Structure 1
Amino acid sequence: MASSSTEDTKKPPLSTTDDVQNDVEKNRGDASSDDPYSILSERKKVCLMITASFAGLISPLSSTVYFPALTSLADAMHVSSTRINLTVMMYLIFQGIAPSFIGSFSDTHGRRPAYLVSFVIYLGANIGLALQTNYAALMVLRCLQACGSSGTIALGSAVVADVSTRAERGKYIGYASMGLTLGPALGPVIGGLIDHFCGWRWIFWFLTILSGVFLAAIALFLPETCRAVVGNGSIPAARWNRPVFSALAPTTTTTSTSKTTTPTSITSNTTPKPQRLNPLRSARLVLDKENALILTYGALLYAGMAAVLTTLTTTLATHYDFNTIQIGLCYLPMGLGSLTSRYTVGCLLDRTFRRHAHAQQLRIIRNTQQDISAFDIERARLTVAIPLAYAAALVFVAYGWVMQARVSLAGPVLTLFVGSHLLTGAFTALSTLIVDLNRGSPATAVAANNLVRCLLGAGATAGAAPVIERIGIGWMAVVMAVVWVVASPCLWGVYLWGFGEE
């Protein structure tokens, strides 16, 4: 789907698909400017992204730290394991819905206030969870906890888009995704240890302390990066929207560098106009057919991962007779596979971008957001994503059958590591493409991604255990891989016809 130049023509507000298409194309448009895309130094960019990344740790950590304590909670609440699993499903549903609100809010009013609102909600929910004594309160507060934590994922990706250009975005994926990756790896281990030695309430007290630390760090150090508020960093944010200590804040002076502008190197560094607050904007992005194809396939990948994560505890307990600590440690290979993928795939994305740019005679200018109206960004990203998705399907079939055969633990551990590495890489490439195609509203684009994947993930979480009971984990893995392969024409359609379609 071709990127088009931003037009100033006024159109009456519409509520149809044409209006959605207009919004999407406007987000992809580029204007020219000689200013650098971001005045932040490389060191400050890295520090900023690491801060945002670890703020995003709370969402996956809050989800996975809960898994080893499910049995303890069921006993304490005097409910069945099926009813406790409903709290996991509801968490995923609200994790998908909430970013639509916080993403739109941050694109309009800035990243800092969105972060502060999210952490205040999250802090209050954790205090309530640590003190509650009945199942109804557990369910409601878990939904509130999801609302507070899930927005941090969209905000972290938005910060990356605020300060990095498309050509260098892959390089920063590793920094920006460390927290998101460490959450699934560390959560079950931490949850298992705390539940075993201190009881399930201390899981929520731990999250309370952690969220308090993050809230203080953001209030004290994190600068505003939203381009609708501060541009490339040279426009001061409002006094109320500045960190108490400006250690990470950009300097107000920057050295101007001369740039040679050619027809294939038109730049885009102007400050986008603030958009109206609209929580439904992320849902409207899904109506664009190119976005819909990418988001749907990414959601299917995530649903498969969610099915593996939620059934791993029960599978290990029944097949290997493990306790909560041992089960928690078995989640580490998946987390480590995701962590290594962020760096290898990040470098691969940048290298592929440069290769395609060279082939299409697009000159890459450092620290400059270039016009990609004549550049096939879809092929540059999907060249990486498609092979990784096929390879992940094969590896997870192997995981299902080695787990079914109850072979040595080395088999499941190795396949979980490799499969997670490949699957996370494919999902990272697709998420990067969604931000590339909707540059004007990065947080809203990531919220749309979160909306679709979490809703499908909730369905996979609810259905995975019954499917395994009926056909076994080996055939469940086959079904999951077949779904990924059969749905892959979604990506091939974007790869072949996405660029240049009106």
Structure 2
Amino acid sequence: MEKGGGDAPFTILSERHKKWTIAITSLVTFVSPVSANIYYPALNEMASELGTTSSKINLTITAFMIVQGVGPFFVASMSDIYGRRATSIGALVIYLAVNIGLALQSSYPALMTLRCLQSFGSSTASITCTAVAADLVPRAERGKYMIYSTLGVTVGPAVGPIIGGILTQFLTWRSTFWFLVIFAGVMVALLLFFVPETCRLVVGNGSILPPKWNWPIVQCIRSKGEQSSQSVDPLEAGKPPDPPHRPSPLDTIRISMERETFAVIFSTTLLYCGYTAVLSTLPSQLQEKYGFNALQVGLCYIPYGMGSLSSRWTIGTLIDWNFRRFAKIHGVEIVQNRQSQLDSIPVEKARLQITIPLIYMSSIVIVGYGWVMNFHTNLAGPLIMLFFVSHLVAGASSVLTTLLVDLHVNRPATVNTARNLFRCLAGAGAVAGAVPLINVIGIGWFGTIIAFIWVLFSPVMWGVYFWGHDYRQRKNASQKDVY
């Protein structure tokens, strides 16, 4: 039986230290989606106080989503080569300062400008921290951890309106930005004190020490008097070969244009557009059909968040089980904390055997959500449907993200930036067009159209399923790329 990895452990961090590192960086991934949605319940109050219209205030949401997609484009490749800590801490410091400005500003131009800067800082920090799980977790164990590392994307949009509704109802809209200031400050402190550098081009499996300025404060305290470098064979430390060129924003474009990568990104973008369109129209539907205030609307996002969170235990566990099953079929031995080689494992089939059924089930459930909301049933009806929409779509999206990282294990931040770029730009259009379309055709047909689009383009994933492994082997043979 072929060994699943080399002699060196994938990471020298203990299981407990690894989990805490991923948990802290997963919290950072919340800042971007929470920042985007936290002031949804306060839009009317902000428009009134700033002396502008609701339409102009809504433009700040579109601008935020555009920058959210474009912002990491310029720095993600740097974090894949020079490290995660400096990039994420720097982005969070910018984010913290901008939120102070947002809490104090009193004009629409200042709001628009600062929201764009807020989006840049939050999205850059989120993308960088999403890559930490790929640095620390081998493929065979990645499913459950990738669910954690993408919780911000799936749970954040639901958590934001809940927090925003409570703060706006009992304080003012400015309190939402002060909340984000406090949250960012706590995240900066946690990263500074506890989170080590994880980028494998810098530290390998953790055996190679980064420069001392890049140590967490706790490590500096424990290691007083130690040298900032040590003699370690990079190959034994699991360090990949140095990149052939300096980081460039064009790396994101290059990686997204690879045939298999583009197909997966395209599918995640379609899921995200439908997911976000439902989420962004929920406040108006609840207000119109049930007469809810900001706090009640915020609380109705709880099933959405619970559905995303629960997918970690169900779908995350399932995809790890399926990967181990495929490894056994193809004679690859899975060793804990060792990286599995993909040459002999059709990882595309291992991941997509879970994803494709989830896409079809998501299509059925989103149709159910649209029509129970359309016929104004008991509130339990749409909330139960929301739970299952979130559970299934979040699970499918996380598996596709895991597949992208599997295919580009040494460039997780770059490939996640490519995914983020496409889904945020497309999502901005979906959000802008959702309410006008619902006003014309109704929420029932709106959900039906989303499901139809998901099913219509599902053959893209079938193409990856049947031909992705062969394509990857040919590409590796011609380019000698490292996965």
Using the size of structure 1 for normalisation, the TM-score is 0.88
Q: Is the 8 A contact 1:44 1:248 kept in 2?
A: no
CA drift at 1:291 = 0.7
Cα distance 1:329–1:451, how it changes in 2: closer, same or farther (>3 A)?
same
Q: Deviations over 1:308-327 (max 9, x none)?
A: 11111111111110000000
Counterpart selection for 2:302 from 329, 332, 336: 332
CA drift at 1:183 = 2.2
Counterpart selection for 1:368 from 318, 338, 341: 338
Q: Distance in 2 between matches of 1:179 and 1:221?
A: 20
Partner of residue 284, structure 1: 254
Partner of residue 13, structure 1: none
Q: Deviations over 1:452-476 (max 9, x none)?
A: 1111111101110110011111111
Partner of residue 34, structure 2: 61
Cα distance 1:248–1:391, how it changes in 2: closer, same or farther (>3 A)?
farther
Counterpart selection for 2:354 from 384, 387, 393: 384
Cα distance 1:249–1:184, how it changes in 2: closer, same or farther (>3 A)?
farther
Q: Deviations over 1:393-448 (max 9, x none)?
A: 11010101111111110001000001110010100000000000011211111111
Given the alignment of the two structures, is residue 271 of structure 1 paired with residue 271 of structure 2, yes or no? no
Pairing of 1:277-426 with structure 2 (within 5 A): 277-426=247-396
Counterpart selection for 2:16 from 26, 39, 43: 43
Partner of residue 190, structure 2: 217
Q: Distance in 1 between matches of 2:220 and 2:394?
A: 33
CA drift at 1:180 = 4.5
Given the alignment of the two structures, is residue 97 of structure 1 paired with residue 70 of structure 2, yes or no? yes
Given the alignment of the two structures, is residue 85 of structure 1 paired with residue 58 of structure 2, yes or no? yes
Q: Distance in 1 between matches of 2:28 and 2:222?
A: 17
Aligned length: 458
- State the AA in 1 paired with 2:345: F
Q: Is the 8 A contact 1:122 1:149 kept in 2?
A: yes
Q: Deviations over 1:134-154 (max 9, x none)?
A: 111111111110100112332
- State the AA in 2 paired with 1:409: L
Q: Is the 8 A contact 2:196 2:216 kept in 1?
A: yes
CA drift at 1:179 = 4.6
Q: Deviations over 1:255-294 (max 9, x none)?
A: xxxxxxxxxxxx9934342552212211221111111111
Using the size of structure 2 for normalisation, the TM-score is 0.91
Partner of residue 463, structure 1: 433
Cα distance 1:342–1:32, how it changes in 2: closer, same or farther (>3 A)?
closer
Segment of structure 1 superposing worse, 160-169 or 82-91? 82-91
Q: Is the 8 A contact 2:207 2:237 kept in 1?
A: no
Segment of structure 1 superposing worse, 228-237 or 75-84? 75-84
Counterpart selection for 1:431 from 390, 401, 411: 401
Q: Deviations over 1:18-61 (max 9, x none)?
A: xxxxxxxxxxxxx9853111111111110110011111121111
Partner of residue 14, structure 1: none
- State the AA in 1 paired with 2:184: S
CA drift at 1:220 = 1.6
Given the alignment of the two structures, is residue 130 of structure 1 paired with residue 80 of structure 2, yes or no? no
Q: Aligned-pair RMSD on alpha carbons? A: 2.0
- State the AA in 2 paired with 1:340: S
Q: Distance in 1 between matches of 2:270 and 2:221?
A: 38
Partner SS, residue 415 of structure 1? helix
- State the AA in 2 paired with 1:269: G
Counterpart selection for 2:218 from 234, 245, 248: 245
Q: Distance in 1 between matches of 2:459 and 2:155?
A: 32
Q: Distance in 2 between matches of 1:405 and 1:332?
A: 22
Q: What stretches of structure 2 of length at least 5 have no aligned partner?
A: 228-235, 475-483
Partner of residue 449, structure 2: 479
Q: Deviations over 1:315-369 (max 9, x none)?
A: 1111110000000001111111001012211111100001111112222122111
- State the AA in 2 paired with 1:239: K
Q: Is the 8 A contact 2:99 2:181 kept in 1?
A: yes
Q: Distance in 2 between matches of 1:32 and 1:364?
A: 8
Q: Distance in 1 between matches of 2:190 and 2:55?
A: 38
Given the alignment of the two structures, is residue 116 of structure 1 paired with residue 89 of structure 2, yes or no? yes
Q: Distance in 2 between matches of 1:194 and 1:410?
A: 25
Partner of residue 233, structure 2: none
Q: Is the 8 A contact 1:32 1:269 kept in 2?
A: no
CA drift at 1:128 = 1.2
Q: Deviations over 1:186-219 (max 9, x none)?
A: 2111101111121111111111111111112211
Q: Distance in 2 between matches of 1:364 and 1:410?
A: 44
Segment of structure 1 superposing worse, 291-300 or 353-362? 353-362
Q: Deviations over 1:294-317 (max 9, x none)?
A: 101110100011101111111111
Cα distance 1:72–1:423, how it changes in 2: closer, same or farther (>3 A)?
same
Q: Is the 8 A contact 1:311 1:464 kept in 2?
A: yes
- State the AA in 1 paired with 2:372: V
